[in-house]
Amino acid sequence: MIGRLRGLVVERCPPQVLLEVQGVAYEVDLPLSTFGELPASGEVVLYTHLVVREDAHLLYGFLTAERRAWFRLLLRVNGIGPRVALALLSGLADEELAACVHEGNVARLTRVPGIGRKTAERLLVELSGKVPSGGRTVISLRDEAIGALQTLGYNEREAQAAVERAEKAAGPAASGEALIREALRGMVR
Q: What is the pLDDT along the chain (189 residues), one digit of tens a residue?
A: 788 899 999 988 888 999 999 999 999 999 988 888 888 778 999 999 999 888 989 999 999 888 998 999 899 888 899 999 999 999 998 889 988 988 999 999 999 988 899 999 999 998 887 776 554 554 566 777 777 777 777 877 888 888 888 888 877 667 777 878 888 888 776
Domain ranges for the chain: 4-62, 65-127, 141-188
| pLDDT in the model for residue 27 | 95
Coil, strand, or helix at residue 111? coil
Measuring CA to CA, which residue among 67, 65, 71, 36 is closest to residue 51?
A: 71
Measuring CA to CA, which residue among 182, 187, 95 is closest to residue 133?
A: 95
Burial 107-143 (b: 16+ CB within 10 A, else e): ebbbebeebeeebbeebbebbeeebeeebebebebeb
| pLDDT in the model for residue 109 | 93
- Which one of 1.10.1660.10, 2.40.50.140, 3.40.1670.10, 3.30.70.20 gives the CATH number of domain 4-62? 2.40.50.140
DSSP code, position 165: H
Task: State which fold the 65-127 domain adopts.
Answer: DNA polymerase; domain 1 (1.10.150)
| pLDDT in the model for residue 53 | 87
| pLDDT in the model for residue 47 | 92
| pLDDT in the model for residue 128 | 82
